[in-house]
Chain A
């Protein structure tokens, strides 16, 4: 009985999610497209940081790269949108492999800072090479049907989650978690840790670049400060950590809740919005380092749960 209820609930939710643009206004559809794009990116960050234990602070490079590849393909070669997204995703994965080979050897602080620098560097390069339109940015053709973006991004998100679930029950998934828990031990057990890390980074880059490509066509205009904005990296990180890093649906929940709160505050309490992201990150790091999914999985929960991190780690 319980199982039937569960499936019925899932089916109703799926039907609701799939038909949203048909009855909601343009405003809500627009908001949800933003949520889904961030959910894809947060899930992408989750693969490399949540499951593999390599917290990248510069995943926005894949977003920016994807946006630029789609824009350049559509403007210069008039390739169809979907084909441009395919090029973007391949470019994202390739770029992840190329930069991953040197930087995934680094650990801890070093990895974090280098990834932080990659975003800044790509922004500077995009500003200066001639074929990207430099600082003036690129304008894309207008899309005919705005609901298209809702369905495409939703399909990408669903594919990503199903793909990730499949990966996690296989060799690569166990390898990623082993690397996160203890990389040296994983190596001892015969896991090719280098290959595991690079594959995880490539998956992360692949899907984040698709999100970038969708964003480019959706917003019809991109320039370096918008698509390489470090705030995008910050959002991916806080959405994943707040929702629950290393859980399948945590990043999606995090993306929805944080986008909702951020939108709500920025329209109704502009001053509070100033403190929102920074404050939320600080609070999460102190009181909720394991994320919302962990809270939901606890049976009895009290204030002791939230100060456990402090109790264990203060001086």
Chain B
């Protein structure tokens, strides 16, 4: 009975994790930048929703759209006016750059909003759907549904729209894409914007579930990377599989070993994946 409840909780958390990581996976797959500021973007999304809720009493699930828009613009500008400048430099330089952005965003957030714990807490936060022996919290159910819907929406966007096709073309071959008349710099910026926007939406919903602090992003960057890695790069549904997997393992692990070890479990999975199958569960076998 407990086990069933844990599976439900794990899966619901996993859906949210998938949304959190899909932005990182997309940016990584297309621009070859591992965005170490991803957790900071998630944190910004959480704060956006928190302030809209606190100041304008906007429902957190309504302000998701605002969160996406704010983070899209922010991400677009970062890529276009900062990362694009050095995007073809050595891998270490882009890692260092996004690491610097992470610290910059985190420190500014800490100065502006202090490191007090905050939480977006709508009136229905603790309500749930009782199904006999198990309970499904509405908030987690909604977060899960929206996450899965957005993953599918991203899939359709990349497959069906012209911009989506441009993104896929650039990820396959920059030079060929440019010859076809695609503006590579703008496509990179849009990609980063979408990744950041999805991170923002994930952050908005995470902020309803766990406390918000300027430093919440550090572990979330690591988790996003682990999920992107488990799922395999260059696939759209990879992060979905990775997210559900991590959600389940983490929930089970915390239940049996204690919540303090949750981060150790994440790291264990990371190292194990890298050693056993570095291309991920759904990943292709070539580099």
Contact = CB atoms under 8 A, between A and B. Distances in A.
A114 interface: yes
Given A117-B222, A121-B264, A313-B86, A274 B111 contact: yes
Given A109-B95, A286-B97, A124 B222 contact: no
The bracket for how many chain A residues form the interface is 35 or more
Contact of A314 (B87, B106, B110, B174): B87
Contacts of A112: 34, 92, 95
Given A120-B267, A315-B88, A315-B174, A278 B100 contact: yes
B85 A110 contact: no
B102 interface: yes
Interface stretch (B8-16, B121-129, B149-157, B268-276): B268-276
B176 interface: no
Nearest to B40: A278
Contact of B100 (A118, A274, A280): A280
Given A109-B34, A120-B222, A285 B96 contact: yes
B97 A310 contact: no
B58 to A, nearest CB: 28
B206 interface: no
Given A103-B271, A120-B222, A125-B264, A313 B87 contact: yes
Contacts of A230: 218
B84 A315 contact: yes
Interface string A48-70: 01000001010000000000000
Contacts of B95: 55, 57, 109, 112
B279 to A, nearest CB: 11
Given A113-B225, A125-B264, A271-B111, A282 B97 contact: yes
A38 B153 CA distance: 48
Interface in A96-135: 102-103, 106, 108-110, 112-114, 116-118, 120-121, 124-125, 127-128
B222 A234 contact: no
Contacts of A39: none
A314 B107 contact: no
B107 A315 contact: no
Among A118, A237, A277, A281, find the residue whose CB has the most chain B CB atoms closer than 10 A. A281
B278 interface: yes
B86 A309 contact: yes
B33 to A, nearest CB: 9
A234 B188 CA distance: 27
Interface string B254-273: 00001011011011001100
A202 interface: no
Interface in A175-190: none
Interface string B58-96: 000000000000000000000000101111111111111
Interface in A274-314: 274-275, 277-282, 284-286, 289, 309-310, 312-314
A275 B112 CA distance: 12
11 contacts: A112-B95, A120-B263, A125-B264, A274-B111, A278-B106, A279-B100, A284-B96, A285-B94, A309-B85, A313-B85, A313-B86
Interface of B: 28, 34, 36, 82, 84-97, 99-108, 110-111, 174, 184-185, 188, 218-219, 221-222, 225, 229, 258, 260-261, 263-264, 266-267, 270-271, 274-275, 278
Interchain residue pairs A-B with the least CB separation, the first 3? A278-B104, A281-B100, A278-B103
